DNA sequence: AGGGTCGTGTGAACGATGTCAACATCGATG
DNA sequence: CATCGATGTTGACATCGTTCACACGACCCT
């Protein structure tokens, strides 16, 4: 956006990632183009290759990392907002449920970023790891006595699959046009299933 | 592939869809290009636009329809293979479980086609409707007394989300490189959750 | 049989994409 | 102050989706 006065940009890499995040936010992966973004920053396309050696894919991974970090932060936020009660078991359950709701909430807010996050992933990062957040929720369930230790293996995977699948279906999938009330109902129904079935 | 002797191709539309299916099967959506496919058939690119007025997107939808039909057929096949017992309830449960397993099975076999099926969907078709198959499994569960009528709303959605999400995570997602035994364990664990939680 | 019509395929062109190699410029370091 | 490495530019290439004017030919109608 902002035209540039100096020959060197200053921090082109960060600027490209920011622009990529903005583009992905509206328009999804298809809107993230190296030429377009560079032009938008008043910079030639090939300049980007200095900062993303493997080209577009590298940039998409970087954008995806931002998206994953934001998602993880949203999960942590919603979990932290759960008002503690006297019962550790119901607290753990509520936090677990809040994380699932927050997942869908974020994805509905930022479907484009979610798309990039899914499609360009090079493994877990400590500060951008939504799955890690979910795993600690599961650990809480175990230590609160809600979930049996024997049932812990793959419990996080199963829960993740349910919530992730729902998010995909609701944004890119056939449930795209579900009205908000039916959407919420589907979310709660799915969380019911997970909570009862884990 | 096969060069053509006559000026007219005969059935270019079907040939393009076939080639698109083959290309998507290895290489996913990115491998489905109008120019490449047309050239492969010894035909100019613009010829394709006679049969797919909206261009590439139309072709991708057609390929997706094939993929959805095959998936639905696979589900129906695996359901039909369940040996009936004396108990209608356990039969319904087994068929339901078989459908979930079949879903993952197919997606692992044809991740590229699954990708196209997900990303280019213009609504349910009677002969290519995996969700419809799942819905009738749920209906079976209800009529067999396994699932309470009151819990039927959105039950299919929740179950679908879990299985779909798992399939996505196992093919395009972070669970991509899970070894087969751990993969199977995750599938069974997820089906356990769905069955117990629905 | 002859002639017209409409479905189908061709050729060339346009703009946009990702990518690369050769060159230009700046800032920091000796 | 000179040099050198990091950073940005220019220009080019192949490929992509798409469109338009044109060419072919199978079929129908008289």
Q: Report the pLDDT averaged over residues B188-196.
A: 98
Using alpha carbons only, what angle is made at residue B190 by residues B184 and B192, rounded to the nearest 5 degrees? 105
pLDDT tens string A109-162: 999 999 999 999 999 999 999 999 999 999 999 999 999 999 999 999 999 999
Window 31-60 of chain A: CB closer than 7 A to strand C: 32-36, 45-46, 49, 54-57
Taking 70 as the pLDDT cut, the residues of chain A under it are 1-5, 7-8
Phi, psi angle pair for B142, to nearest 5°: -65, -50
Q: What share of chain A in percent tops pLDDT 70? A: 96
Q: Are B162 and A197 in contact (CB under 8 A)?
A: no
Name the CATH architecture for the domain at B63-197.
Orthogonal Bundle (1.10)
- pLDDT class for B64, splitting at 50, 70, 90? very high
Q: Residue B125's beta-bridge partner residues?
A: B128
Looking at residue B6, its pLDDT comes to 73
Pick from B56, B61, B100: which is nearest to B190 by CA?
A: B100
pLDDT band per the 50, 70, 90 thresholds, residue B67: very high
Smallest CA–C1' distance to C10, residue: B44
| CA–CA min distance A168, chain B (Å) | 8
Average pLDDT over residues B42-70: 97
Burial category of A41 from C-beta neighbours within 10 Å (exposed 0-12, middle 13-18, buried 19 and up): buried
Q: Would you say residue B185 has pLDDT above 50?
A: yes
- CATH fold group of domain A64-197: Tetracycline Repressor; domain 2 (1.10.357)
- Please determine, for residue B101, whether its predicted confidence score (pLDDT) is greater than 60: yes
Domain spans, chain B: 63-197
Q: Phi and psi of A128, rounded to 5°?
A: -145, 65
Indicate the pLDDT class of residue B7, thresholds 50, 70 and 90.
low
What Å value separates CA B45 and C1' C13? Answer: 13
Question: Is the CB of residue A156 less than 8 Å from the CB of residue A135?
Answer: yes
When pLDDT is cut at 50, 70 and 90, the band that residue B17 belongs to is very high
């Amino acid at each position: 956006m902002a035209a540039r006065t100096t020959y060197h940009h200053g921090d082109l890499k960060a600027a490209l990632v920011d622009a990529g995040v903005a583009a992905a936010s509206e328009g999804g992966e298809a809107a993230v183009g190296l030429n377009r973004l560079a032009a938008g920053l008043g910079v030639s396309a090939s300049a980007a290759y200095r900062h993303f050696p493997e080209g577009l894919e590298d940039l998409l991974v970087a954008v995806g990392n931002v998206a994953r970090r934001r998602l993880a932060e949203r999960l942590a936020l919603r979990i932290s907002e759960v008002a503690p009660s006297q019962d550790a078991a119901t607290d753990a359950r509520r936090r677990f449920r809040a994380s699932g709701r927050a997942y869908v909430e974020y994805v509905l807010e930022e479907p484009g970023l979610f798309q990039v996050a899914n499609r360009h992933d090079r493994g877990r990062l400590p500060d951008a790891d939504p799955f890690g957040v979910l795993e600690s929720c599961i650990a809480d369930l175990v230590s609160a006595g809600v979930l049996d230790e024997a049932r812990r293996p793959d419990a996080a995977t199963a829960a993740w699959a349910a919530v992730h699948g729902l998010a995909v279906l609701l944004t890119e999938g056939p449930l795209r046009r579900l009205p908000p009330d039916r959407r919420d109902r589907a979310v709660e129904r799915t969380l019911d299933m997970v909570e009862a079935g884990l």
